[in-house]
Chain A
Amino acid sequence: MDTVSTCASAPLDFRIGDITFALTSEDPCLTLEAQGPVRHFLVTDGVPDVRLRAAWGDSCAPAEGEKLFDAGTVWQLHRQGQGYLFRFSSPSFGPEPYKTASFNPAFTSGEICLRGGCFQNDQPIYPLEYPLDELLMVHLLAQERGVEVHGCGVADSDGEGYLFLGQSGAGKSTLARLWTRGPGPHILSDDRIILRILDGRLWMYGTPWHGEAELASATRTPVDRIFFLARGERNEIAPLAHADAVGRVMACSFVPFHSRSGMDFTLGFLQQLTSAVPCAELRFVPDEKVVEFIRENAT
């Protein structure tokens, strides 16, 4: 795996969706490493918005507060004082979590505990390994910043920004590969896009969380059109009613279902973005003709 190694206590600073993270470890036995596409998001400037510390532990924090959400075998969320505690489990490691992450109420500071014996202690570690990184981002965005969506973002060579939304199997990675066949277009991600409204404009950001096409870019571009993907026998664009568009974006969004305030904000944000940007269903045939079709018919 192509990686950037650091010393045990050297911080990893990275920026995703204009949110800057500082990840440190004071544990001399823990070497932090940016693994995979997140290394393209490393930065050396800026004041961190989120400060995280990681350390080894023989056992991680028990869940003493109210269980707020249970995602099944992978992770659970508990109240911890005024803040939150995520517990990550796997059947391979028994009933105790292999990792926990506790956060303050604003998710701007956190402590990550890695249970010894569940990892190769002599190897560098990226403590924010999935799904913790995305869970943290989801909760940060829901605090009146934006939303993460299941989508493919394309910055075309003429400056147009297209956002293609769809659940797994809808064709996001397929479409992304078709866009990359020609020069010019830049793919922000073929699977996960962050949306934020800044300075009165809707921006989409690339993320390190790519799809099967493995496309990830630490850039952003304004969103000019939103398309909901569907397979078709021919390429066609079908306009959508506003309410329909809001529902469809919601189905492609990653939201903190346990948080009333987070859901309130997210629904309002989705209403806002679907009002600001034309939304339509794109029924497409997965070949190179769809790219020109979009360019000719999107406006």
Chain B
Amino acid sequence: MDSKPLDSESTKRPYVKPEFTQVALRPEEAVLGGCKSTTSSGPAGKTCSTTSCSTTSVS
């Protein structure tokens, strides 16, 4: 029996070895923790006024 030739009419795609690609994840950004600066996530602004970033207690 003749073997089927691997030519341009073959329906099989060439095998590509699976590869791992590492993608950088910034944990604090990804979980919406912390406030925004040039290196982290959160609401923008030089002075973050959200309660979670408050440095003084109201009462």
Contacts and interface: CB of A to CB of B under 8 A. Distances in A.
A117 B57 CA distance: 8
Nearest to A125: B51
Given A72-B33, A90-B51, A169-B38, A118 B57 contact: yes
Interface string A231-254: 000000000000110011011001
B51 A118 contact: yes
A214 B44 contact: yes
Contacts of B38: 168-169
A247 B21 contact: yes
B3 interface: no
A125 B23 CA distance: 39
B31 to A, nearest CB: 4
A251 B23 contact: yes
Interface stretch (A177-185, A205-213, A261-269): A205-213
B6 interface: no
A131 B32 contact: yes
Interface residues of B, number: 32
Interface residues of A, number: 44
Given A92-B56, A118-B51, A214-B44, A168 B39 contact: yes
Interface string A180-193: 00000000000100
A235 to B, nearest CB: 23
A131 B52 contact: yes
Contacts of A150: 29, 41
B23 A254 contact: no
Contact of B23 (A98, A131, A134, A248): A248
A270 to B, nearest CB: 12
Nearest to A258: B31
Nearest to B28: A72
A251 B39 CA distance: 15
Nearest to A134: B32
B32 A135 contact: yes
B58 A118 contact: yes
A3 B4 CA distance: 74
Interface of B: 21, 23-26, 28-34, 36-45, 50-59
